[in-house]
Amino acid sequence: MGKINKNEMKSPEFRRWRHPGGKLRELGPESLTDAELLAILISTGIKGKPAEKIAEEILAKFGSFKGMANQPLSKFLKIKGLGDVKIIRIAAAFEIARRIVNEVLKEYEKEQD
C-alpha cells in the first residue's frame, strides 16, 4: 500500500473509513472487528489516543466482550481515555445484549415445553 496523498484524503472513500461508523454503514456491523464496534461506543478518543486504540486496550485487558461483561465499572476507569460517559455507554450496551440473550433464552425454553 502506497502513501496517501492530500487529494485522496479528501475523497469520500477515504473519509468513510476514518472511523468504524463509516465501515458499519457501508458494509454492515458484521464486518467490524470487536475493537471497531467498541470504538463506536467510545466515540472519541483523547489527544494521542484515538477511540480505536482505547478499544484495543480494553479488549487486551479483559480478553473479549465476555471478559468485559460483569466487570465493575471502576476497572474501566483505570484505562486512560475512559470517563464516566463512555463507561456508561459501554455498560448500557452490555445490558441491552444481556436482555436480548435472556429474551431469546425464554423463547427457546417455551419452544422446548
Q: How many domains does the chain have?
A: 1
pLDDT for 14: 46
- Residues 41-74 pLDDT 10s: 999 999 999 999 999 999 999 999 999 998 999 9
- Tell me what pLDDT residue 17 has: 61
Q: What is the mean pLDDT of the chain?
A: 87
Whether residue 106 is predicted with pLDDT greater than 60 in this model: the reply is yes
Domain of residue 91: give its range: 33-112
The verdict on residue 103 lying in a domain is: yes
Does 59 fall in a domain? yes
What's the CATH code of the domain at 79?
1.10.150
Specify the pTM.
0.79
Helix (H), strand (E), coil (C) string for the chain:
CCCCCHHHHHCHHHHHCCCHHHHHHHHCHHHCCHHHHHHHHHCCCECCECHHHHHHHHHHHHCCHHHHCCCCHHHHHCCCCCCHHHHHHHHHHHHHHHHHHHHHHHHHHHHHC
